Structure 1
Amino acid sequence: MELIPVIDLMGGVVVHARRGDRANYRPIASRLCEGAAPDDIARALRALAPFRTLYVADLDAIAGREPHRAELGGLAGHFARLWVDAGEARLAGPGLHRVLGTESMADAEGGLAALREGPAVLSLDHGPEGRRGPAELHERADLWPGEVIVMTLARVGGDAGPDYDRLRGVLARAGGRRVYAAGGVRDAADLRRLAEIGVAGVLLASALHDGRLGAEDLAAFMG
């Protein structure tokens, strides 16, 4: 099971995502390092564990503002792969893989056109109100690419735990696709349970920065 740290970028710094309430995100306060500069956070994450992939949510780009091009270029130097959700922005670079979030798709036709443009990871986004984006892309597994994220925004930065029921539902329809869990991971017990239900990987943020998941915990799943 691959463990993937998450960085949320807003206004040039890393912010602490909480339950999808982006208007109230503030610069992250991490036990791993001082400050919220993207490069410092990336170095601290690499010192914690040999993560191969970094997921980056460019919240400014998702909101239709200018992407963090310089910051993304710097982050690419620390990881073999960057998974980047930048909304409708078209970004390119070494190791950069586009994440297409359903919340940024106006309709299924546009989402499918974006998926056909090249290799991409599909994020099936869910807010407190339920599914976000075109219902067809949530329902039809035959339209999914090889890697799919189940993103439960209402559980990001919270203590409710992963959305196991939704993950099981996606896994049951995914065929040979790799399914990744995002949102709500609290500790090693959650990682063990996610491994047991068959997810290919897990996106992590709060539990890394507040110390609930330490180097030994991560090593047990990355060995």
Structure 2
Amino acid sequence: MDNQYEGKIFLFKRKNISMEIIPVIDIMNGKAVHAIRGERNNYKPLKSIYSDISDPVEIAENLPYKRIYVADLDAIMGDNSNFKIIEEISEYKRVILDSGIKHSNELNLYRDLSINPVIGTETLESMENLKENLQISEEVFMSIDIKDDRVISPFLDLTPLKCFELFYGKGIENFIFLEISSVGTMSLPSFDYLDKINKKVKVLVGGGITKKDIKKLKERNVFGVLMGTALYNELV
């Protein structure tokens, strides 16, 4: 479409601080939902100025940002995916997509769309699966999913820093650090491990982040922030 990706500049700029703000849309049962602390059974339809019916496509179209992060919660939990919705969203925005990818054949679904797939530690089943996925696409983001200072994973028992070192050693350069316990709370996690991350790596962070947190995160070599609750509450 002719107006693909139209929108405002999505960088937060103030006093030499420049950082990308990436809105988050969590999708469950075809609706955009308000995520809180990873307690998915308690998620409610998202109320926002961008859609009065919690329509994820309408929200994406109306958001004045060029890139968004989409979590397909149904796919992550092993239920039916929201592929058609995500396909439509990708007509309006560039998308970073977490759909709970486990195997390389799932990556093929999105190869022709304007999407950067996410491989998350929560759903990655083995290092062999990771190797297969990287052979399909090098444009992935590795999401290190964290709760109570430990990585959420079916096979890894690591701190966030040790997990980063493991995946960075596999050639991955785009990372998301997602503090699940802080999602939706507007309460910034410590992110202490960021001080030890290689400065050449592109890092996005998510979990409880508000506008006032941006300066301190920029000082810790963060390229961009995933923002949901604060944005939809019009605090950005």
Aligned match of 1:62: 76
Contact (CA 8 Å) 2:186, 2:230: kept in 1 or not?
Answer: no
Once residues 111 and 59 of structure 1 are traced to their aligned partners in structure 2, the CA distance between those partners, rounded to angstroms, is 20
Q: How far did 1:24 drift?
A: 1.1
Aligned match of 1:110: 129
Aligned match of 1:156: 183
**Alignment size in residue pairs:** 204
Contact (CA 8 Å) 1:152, 1:163: kept in 2 or not?
Answer: no
Q: How far did 1:198 drift?
A: 1.5
- Once the two structures are superposed, the pairs formed by residues 200-215 of structure 1 within 5 Å of their partners are 200-213=223-236
Once residues 99 and 83 of structure 1 are traced to their aligned partners in structure 2, the CA distance between those partners, rounded to angstroms, is 7
Contact (CA 8 Å) 1:167, 1:181: kept in 2 or not?
Answer: no
Once residues 173 and 9 of structure 1 are traced to their aligned partners in structure 2, the CA distance between those partners, rounded to angstroms, is 31
- Identify which of 209, 215, 218 aligns with 1:195: 218
2:178 counterpart SS class:
strand
RCO comparison, higher one (Cα < 8 Å, 6+): 1
1:103 counterpart SS class:
coil
- For residues 184-203 of structure 1, give each alpha carbon's deviation from its aligned partner in whole angstroms, at most 9, with x where no partner exists: 112x2201111122201111
Aligned match of 2:85: 71
Runs ≥4 in structure 1, deviation > 6 angstroms?
none
User: RMSD of the TM alignment (CA)?
Assistant: 1.8
Q: How far did 1:146 drift?
A: 1.7
Give the TM-score taking structure 2 as reference length: 0.80
Aligned match of 1:216: none
2:219 counterpart SS class:
helix
Once residues 129 and 113 of structure 2 are traced to their aligned partners in structure 1, the CA distance between those partners, rounded to angstroms, is 26
Give the TM-score taking structure 1 as reference length: 0.84
- Cα gap change, 1:162/1:144 in structure 2, threshold over 3 Å: closer, same or farther? farther
Contact (CA 8 Å) 1:137, 1:144: kept in 2 or not?
Answer: no
Contact (CA 8 Å) 2:35, 2:183: kept in 1 or not?
Answer: yes
1:82 aligns with 2:102: no
Contact (CA 8 Å) 2:186, 2:229: kept in 1 or not?
Answer: no
Amino acid at match of 1:61: A
Structure 1: gaps of 5 or more residues: 214-223
Aligned match of 1:4: 22
Structure 2: gaps of 5 or more residues: 1-18
- Cα gap change, 1:65/1:190 in structure 2, threshold over 3 Å: closer, same or farther? same
Q: How far did 1:111 drift?
A: 2.5
Amino acid at match of 2:137: G
More helix by share: 1
Q: How far did 1:175 drift?
A: 4.5
Once residues 219 and 149 of structure 2 are traced to their aligned partners in structure 1, the CA distance between those partners, rounded to angstroms, is 28
- For residues 69-119 of structure 1, give each alpha carbon's deviation from its aligned partner in whole angstroms, at most 9, with x where no partner exists: 11011111111x211111134331321111000110122332333233212
Once residues 68 and 83 of structure 1 are traced to their aligned partners in structure 2, the CA distance between those partners, rounded to angstroms, is 14
1:66 counterpart SS class:
coil
Same amino acid, percent of matched pairs: 31
